[in-house]
């Protein structure tokens, strides 16, 4: 364990932009988040990483191609794109994507320790896209000292 | 991107109370959270918004009536109120509500930038109630400077 | 509601270690988190509690034995250990655990007010293990003043 007294609070904000080639996609964005934390200069604090759109997720798990397929199959079987959604009566076609994003989550918070993401051995940050093929954003907000 | 050095940390706390007229309900609470952030005076920071009860959620998604019906149908089909739950052997009747809340999440964290909720175009904060018709609370906690 | 001006930011970090006797397990870790908050000396702030492994969850709900069985049955019926997962072609056998953890969540953030976890009446912090019987860690990171 470790404790620090810090005299000055800093904040830092950055947007990451994505445009996936497929409707659903899973992108490892760990290095972009690490770069933002480095730029912030924060040594001890928290970083919030959240989808700014409501049909996409930010989540933490393993970067293993089979697992990404398992997530995709699980979500599509439980919430099929082609099922009937009241939301789609508005002219949208992404009712499924709003539910998939809810199951995978909007955001993660990662501790910053010694200026780095304080991660276990396999933790990686992913952008999960459920209604892609257009430009969408992720917010990175760092608070600390 | 933007970086700030801030000399003084502030915190602010407020409770929001709700009593829904139906067992399940989805309430847009964005304006109440915005008002709390304004009262906090925090310009750069984070706001935590969490259900203080364990059969309710706070989540972020679209304020579209069809979508709220889609969420409700999805949750009720996957975790029906009338199914058998061990929890209900205690005399409770809300086993389903504890699971529904888990799928929709307990809390959200929103970045505060320039004194405002740092949101994408459609993000709205919702209180999701799964065992309502009684007074229940949401906690708003602001940290920043 | 209450507002505080705080002059000095503190941070504190601690790891909690677990080795469950069964593959899946649900452990109440509230007291360990409370002890970490006390050691941090933080009076107003936030505590992040996250699984450092990607087949485990940290979540908040009721400490009621029937409910823990309901969660376990729900997760095992929706994502059976014995189903086919592409992830398991790598030689792993925990494809189900990666999905279960995603549904229950990686982390919680709890407000700290007056030096204590700012909880509703039944909130308890749980470590949810989905691939246990080996040593795994939870991170507790406190930020505040």
pLDDT per position as a tens digit, A8-25: 789 999 999 999 999 999
Residue C64: which CATH number?
A: 2.60.120.460
Chain C interface disruption, residue of A111, A115, A142, A145, most C CBs within 10 A: A111
At C82 the pLDDT is: 97
Number of folded domains that form chain A: 1
**pLDDT of B94 above 90:** yes
Q: Does C47 fall in a domain?
A: yes
Domain that includes residue C105, residue range: 19-81+92-144
Q: Does A77 fall in a domain?
A: yes
**For the segment C59-86, what is each residue's pLDDT rounded down to a tens digit?**
999 999 999 999 999 999 999 999 999 9
pTM above 0.95? yes
B48 at the C interface (CB within 8 A)? yes
Q: Does C35 fall in a domain?
A: yes
Closest-CA residue of chain A to B124: A54
Closest-CA residue of chain C to B86: C66
Q: Does B35 fall in a domain?
A: yes
At A3 the pLDDT is: 73
Q: Does C2 fall in a domain?
A: no
Query: CA of A66 to nearest chain C CA: how many angstroms apart?
Result: 4
**pLDDT of B70 above 70:** yes
**For the segment B3-46, what is each residue's pLDDT rounded down to a tens digit?**
776 667 899 999 999 999 999 999 999 999 999 999 999 999 99
Q: What are the CA-CA distances from residue C15 to residues A44, C33, C36, C49, C103 (Å)? A: 16, 10, 9, 10, 23
Q: Does A43 fall in a domain?
A: yes
The low-confidence residues of chain A, meaning pLDDT below 70, are: 1, 5-7
Q: Does A53 fall in a domain?
A: yes
Spatial separation of the C-alpha atoms in residues A18 and A133, rounded to whole Å? 9
Q: Does B86 fall in a domain?
A: no
């Amino acid at each position: 364990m470790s404790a620090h007294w810090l005299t000055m609070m800093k904040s830092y904000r950055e947007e990451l932009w994505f445009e996936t080639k497929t409707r659903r996609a899973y992108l490892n964005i760990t290095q972009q988040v690490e770069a933002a934390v480095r730029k912030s200069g924060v040594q001890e604090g928290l970083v919030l990483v959240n989808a700014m759109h409501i049909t996409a997720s930010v989540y933490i798990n393993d970067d293993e191609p089979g697992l990404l397929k398992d997530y995709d199959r699980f979500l599509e079987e439980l919430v099929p794109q082609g099922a009937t959604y009241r939301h789609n009566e508005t002219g949208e076609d992404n009712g499924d994507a709003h539910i998939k994003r809810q199951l995978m989550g909007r955001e993660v918070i990662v501790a910053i320790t010694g200026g780095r993401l304080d991660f276990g051995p396999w933790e990686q940050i992913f952008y999960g896209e459920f209604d892609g093929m257009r430009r969408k954003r992720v917010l990175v907000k760092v608070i600390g000292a």
